[in-house]
Every structure is written in C-alpha cells, then in structure tokens.
Amino acid sequence: MPDSTEVPLIEFRDIRRVYGTGEAQVRALDGIDMKIAQGEFVAVMGPSGSGKSTAMNLLGCLDSPTSGHYLFKGVEVAHLDRDQRALLRRNYLGFIFQGYNLLPRTTALQNVELPLIYKGMAREEREERAMSALEKVGLANRADHEPSELSGGQQQRVAIARALAGDPQVVLADEPTGNLDTKRSVEIMEFLRALNENDGLTIVMVTHEEDMAEFASRRIWMVDGKIETDHAKAEG
C-alpha cells in the first residue's frame, strides 16, 4: 500500500462520474477515494458496469469527473480543459489497449514514433528513441514489419514499446491480454512485471482475468461505482 507520508503519484478524492439525468441517470463512479504511489503495479477489477473503465478514462485524462478531486503528483487535474489534459497525457502517461491500436500499413518503428511526433521531437531523435523502445521489448529485428506481418503477441509488444517511447511516469493498460492466448498473455504480463520491478515503472491495469491480476502487486475490486476491496499482495 502507498506510504501515507509521501505525496501519491495519483490520488482520487471523492471522485464521482454521473451520466444522464433523471431516471436515465447512471452513477458510473460514486465517491471513489484512491491513492497510487510511484512504482506500484495495480490491477483494477470488477464486473461489467462496475466503473473500472470509467476510472481508467479519468486516470488517463480522457474524461473529466462530475465532481471530486484528481491529483497527479499533488497537482489538481480533475477539471483541466481539453488541451491541458492532452498535454498531461502526452508528457506523463503511456497507454496500452486490448486491441493494440496500431496503424495498419505502417511499420512497427513508425507506430512507436507516433507519440514522439505529437511531442514535436526531431526525426533523428524520435527514430533513435523508438528503436530503443523496440529493443527493450525484443523487436528491434521487426522494426520494418507492418502489424499484419506480426503475431498478436508481437503487436502488443509494439504497443508497449509505443507506450514506453515517451518515457511516461505511468502506463495505463486496458485489458492488455484480452486478445491473446494464455501463453502470449503470460509473456506480456511477465514483461510488464519486469518493467515495474526493474525500472520502477508505475502501471495501472484494468483486467477481468484473475490469473493476469496475479502479476500485479495490488488489486482493487470495484462494484457499482465504488471500491469494494483494495489489497496489496503479501511480500514473498
């Protein structure tokens, strides 16, 4: 669990997200309090409609809460405007998606370069950074291959390289093994755990798979827009 004496990397204070009005109103998040420290690997779980995806969208600054406070490194970001949220995503967050979200007819290297283009990085530097990220995931020899020429596991590793290329403080992974078989899923999770343990990368992952959540050091279980349990894995 986070050290209460330190400023959390991420903090939700009484976060609520409400959609619709009247009888059609849905309380996707209903008063969430949560702290995530630098270097944690957190799995967020729960049944369909529990609010876990909404929480991930708020963490990723893809949406704003209806009320409450979201602090990133102690700074209030809950009600930033669209451009400010984009800036925070670009400079501090990396994303991994279930469907990989790679551009077709574009090489692995070019896919990894994409967030660096948005950062305005010079071509030579971004190519170097992208290749370094591909080396980290063991795919430097596939840099010139398009997604259709790669296996599902390789495509997800390209997606991880893309998330890492921008040197994020947090990687948000949304069902990162959802489209993979068991063997490839374990490979991806072992790689993510190594990034967390060896590089100190903070990872927040939404998953519905118990065996994949086992790779995380902490598990948050959500039900009906609330956190029902929040447990750190015992050491050793």
User: What is the set of domains in the chain, with CATH numbers?
Assistant: 40-58+82-232 (3.40.50.300)
pLDDT, average across residues 112-124: 92
Continuous segment of H or E residues that includes residue 146: none
pLDDT higher than 90, residue 3: no
CA gap 88, 71 in Å, rounded: 12
SS3 83: helix
pLDDT higher than 90, residue 104: yes
* Radius of gyration over every alpha carbon of the chain, rounded to an integer in angstroms: 18
pLDDT band at 235; cut points 50, 70, 90 = low
Taking only the tens place, the pLDDT of each residue in 41-61 is: 999 999 999 999 999 999 999
At how many degrees (to 10) do helices 123-136 and 152-165 cross? Answer: 130
So what's the pLDDT on residue 6?
Answer: 78
For tokens 């530097």, the residue is 125
pLDDT, average across residues 156-179: 94
pLDDT higher than 60, residue 144: yes
40 vs 1, more confident: 40
Spatial CA neighbour of 28 closest among 61, 67, 85, 82: 67
CA gap 32, 17 in Å, rounded: 10
CA gap 122, 103 in Å, rounded: 21
Pairing of strands 75-76, 67-72: antiparallel
pLDDT band at 7; cut points 50, 70, 90 = confident
Amino acid of residue 219: R
pLDDT band at 5; cut points 50, 70, 90 = low
pLDDT band at 33; cut points 50, 70, 90 = very high
Mean pLDDT, the chain, as a whole number?
93
CA gap 83, 121 in Å, rounded: 19
For tokens 């447990």, the residue is 231
pLDDT higher than 90, residue 215: yes
pLDDT, average across residues 188-198: 94
Contacts of 138 (CB under 8 A, 6+ apart): 157
pLDDT higher than 80, residue 2: no
pLDDT higher than 80, residue 4: no
